[in-house]
Amino acid sequence: MLTVTERAAAKLKDLMVKEGMQDQGLRVRVMGGGCSGYQYEMAFDTPREGDKVIEQEGIRVVVDPKSFLFLAGTEIDYQEGLMGGGFAIKNPNAKGSCGCGQSFQA
């Protein structure tokens, strides 16, 4: 199961309103790339045939079947820091990540 924290859901709802995407879901994808082999992509999108759709904290998360295999148990959070804020993906299936944290090994 993929989870979205309250903090991430609040930020996503805010972004959806600002971009006029309230009728969309958050597509989370795992793609080949980055220095460790895999990277995440997140974008507002509508579900397609075969997608897994997970409703959490008022957010509809959309995941294709292939990415879903990599994302079991993953948590999407939003964190603020000195350099600004951003979404953080905590994936228990990741065996390692690169120094910049933008990609991971499975």
pLDDT tens for each residue of 49-98? 999 999 999 999 999 999 998 899 999 999 998 888 889 889 887 765 55
Q: Distance (Å, rounded) from C-alpha 12 to C-alpha 37?
A: 27
Hey, how many other C-beta atoms are within 10 angstroms of the C-beta on 14? 11
- Three-class secondary structure of residue 56 per DSSP: strand
Quick one: 13 exposed, middle or buried, by C-beta within 10 A (0-12, 13-18, 19+)?
Answer: middle
Distances (CA, A) of 33 to 36, 41, 60, 86: 7, 11, 26, 20
Domains of the chain: 3-105 (2.60.300.12)
Q: Where does the pLDDT of residue 102 fall: very low under 50, low under 70, confident under 90, or very high at 90 and above?
A: low
Question: What are 19's two structure tokens?
Answer: 């971009």
